[in-house]
Each structure stands twice: as structure tokens, then as C-alpha cells.
Amino acid sequence: IILGDMTLVGTRPESTHYVKKYTPEMYATLLLPAGVTSEASIKYKDEDEILDKAVKAGKDTDVAYVEDVLPGKMKYNLEYLKQFSVLHDLKICIDTVIGVLR
């Protein structure tokens, strides 16, 4: 954050493996510096539970991530880009603290 490579709030980049599976619209999330927190990271902080359920149902972990997690995260990330504001970032910071304390 201090060096300017990251921001406090911003989209969280995926590994290259999953970026290759992005739709054209999803690439917009790569335009901003990565953030320490985001609405998607708050909403999907327990994504391992979603993946565990999918694996128990016989789905491959990568397939489950691409089909069950990634689209939801990208929905939040793309909305963040459209609603970018200091007040929205402040709300996300507060929501992050609340999410961590729960």
C-alpha cells in the first residue's frame, strides 16, 4: 500500500490459472491495483465451504470454483468498478472489520 502497488480497497486478482477463464467483461477488474479487501472477499470469506459442498457432490474443485464462486466474486468486483467512491471504500473497510470480528 505504501509503495502504491496495492490499495486498501480494490478488486482482488485471481491466479493466472483462473484469469484465463475470465469473460471479456471480467478483464476490467485487472485495470486497478489490487486491494487488501473488497466486497467480494467479504462475501466469499467462507468460499471453502462452497467448494467443500461442491466436491462432496462430486464436482471437481476447479470446476466448482469457476462455476460456483468466480461468477459471484466477479459480480461484486464489476459493481465496485462502477460504484467507485471514497464513501463506498469506507463502507467496505467497515464491513471488513465487522466480517473479521464475526
102 falls in which pLDDT band (50, 70, 90)? confident
* pLDDT on residue 64: 93
94 falls in which pLDDT band (50, 70, 90)? very high
Q: Which of 90, 101, 92 is nearest to 37 (CA)?
A: 92
- Over residues 43-71, the mean pLDDT reads 92
pTM: 0.85
- Over residues 26-48, the mean pLDDT reads 91
Question: Is 90 exceeded by the pLDDT of residue 32?
Answer: no
DSSP reduced 3-state for 36: strand
